[in-house]
Amino acid sequence: MLTRRTLLTTSALGLLAGCATRAPLGAKPSLLTFADAPISLHDFTQFASSPLILDRVELWWISNNEHMIVGHIRGGLTAYLPSNKRFGDDLQLFGSRVLPYFLGKDLRLIEQHIETCARANYKIVGLPFWNHIGHLEMLALEAIGQAAKRPVFDLVGGGKRSSVAVYLSNRDRHTTPEQEIEAFMLPRIQATGARAVKLGIGGRMSRNADAWDGRSEALVARARKVLGDGCSIAVDANGSYDAATGIEVGRMLESYGVWFFEEPCPFEEFEMTRQVTQALDVAVAGGEQDSSAAKWRWMIENRMVDVVQPDLFYAGGFLRSLRYAQAAAANGLDCIPHAPRAHAGAATMLQFIACLDRPGAFHEFSAKAALAQPAYDYAPRLAIRDGAIAVPTGPGFGISYDIEAVRRIAKPVTFDVGEIDDGD
């Protein structure tokens, strides 16, 4: 069973001996810069001798939760990237304000193009903007990896581990504790060998309300009883509580040996969250919604949380998220990225974990997808065996797709591409 004390000394391959100490508040992250438009920190020209010019981007609709983004590189290379579920929410933003800054550009210089795009669009930067940036950045990394015939983690000095232990996440709040644990979670644990889960408590941005009276504690108690002390239990409140209630709930969680307590307070309430973190022994986690580098600096310097959770897409890409994780590690904080994905879409998370100095013990995989067949064929299959998934080591993010199979279920998406706009 993981507690805050053991959490801070874990790796993705298991628990390590020893006890970490907290860095003092106000300690500076070990970064060259913190800015919403970061300077270029990586020289990707060393991995491809010729420019990788992005000529065209196609979008294929697979489901309401996923598009396939297809990047056509001059000279014949094609890069494929499954999207997250938020990508399709605003394709006008993608086509008019983001994509024009990358078309016709050398993807080896991806960080420079991100900086230019962010500066030009400074009035609209926020999670939807950075989510689109994140997709294009990871499409670029896929193309660079394909050209170099190297995995992405190798491009950025990773390769620190070959497999990632996972926790099964489910945040439904309409189920009874028995339905959630015995009927839903237990069969998936038995089938995958997973040794950790994450459950939804509270009511999601609910101003201290539970989904129904008493559900949260009953759910955690049921999980501990049925899953046993050998299973690490995390919970996600999705911003349900103010500081006082978050501390009260946290004390309850401590009594059941909960591993980490995610987003106890509304994500914009940094000081509330910090108060909860400082009051509790259970580790507090957060950062999923945050795309501003200045906010990340405050979070880390002021130890708002014990565990940072950048979302690789929402935060603006693999490289920005890696900088936050590095800064967190320098301040004694673990990184467990927000990654509620599965199948081929989990490859980005797996390669990210392979780069981390301080990963948590387990990392996110969608419980709903754990026993489901993927929508299309890909290789290697990212299956959970004995609670872990092997990090793919092929070029790019390591996944090859049966493109004809994808085409059979996908629908082309039309969108308008604008011109570079210097703002007003």
Task: Give the model confidence (pLDDT) of 329-366 as tens digits.
Answer: 999 999 999 999 899 999 999 999 999 999 999 999 99
Alpha-carbon span 21 to 9, nearest angstrom: 9
pLDDT band at 423 (very low <50, low <70, confident <90, very high): low
- The whole-model pTM stands at 0.91
**Is residue 112 over pLDDT 90?**
yes
How confident is the prediction for the chain on average, in pLDDT? 91
Q: Output DSSP code: residue 276.
A: H
**pLDDT tens by residue, 152-199:** 999 999 999 999 999 999 989 999 999 999 999 999 999 999 999 999
**pLDDT tens by residue, 381-403:** 999 999 999 999 999 999 999 99
- Distances in Å between the Cα of 391 and the Cα atoms of 154, 199, 240, 370 are 12, 25, 34, 17
In this prediction, residue 318 carries a pLDDT of: 97
* Segment holding 400, helix H or strand E: strand 400-401
**Is residue 117 over pLDDT 50?**
yes
Q: Quick check: helix, strand or coil at residue 413?
A: strand
Residues facing 73 on adjacent strands: 54
pLDDT band at 4 (very low <50, low <70, confident <90, very high): low
Domains of the chain listed by start with CATH number? 4-14+154-401 (3.20.20.120), 44-149+402-413 (3.30.390.10)
Alpha-carbon span 280 to 250, nearest angstrom: 7
Alpha-carbon span 12 to 10, nearest angstrom: 7
Hey, what amino acid is at 101? Y
**Is residue 416 over pLDDT 90?**
yes
Residues 6+ apart with CB under 8 A from 299: 270, 286, 287, 290, 305, 308
In this prediction, residue 421 carries a pLDDT of: 78
**pLDDT tens by residue, 132-145:** 999 999 999 999 99
Residues facing 262 on adjacent strands: 236, 285
**pLDDT tens by residue, 23-58:** 333 344 434 344 444 444 799 999 999 999 999 999
> What would the two tokens of residue 413 be?
């998406």
Q: Quick check: helix, strand or coil at residue 24?
A: coil
Reported residue count of the chain is 424
- Distances in Å between the Cα of 25 and the Cα atoms of 220, 305, 322, 335 are 31, 11, 22, 18
In this prediction, residue 424 carries a pLDDT of: 64
**CA-angle at 15, arms to 13 and 20, nearest 5°:** 125
Alpha-carbon span 26 to 302, nearest angstrom: 5
- Scanning 331-393, the segments in alpha helix (DSSP H) are 347-353
Hey, what amino acid is at 144? I
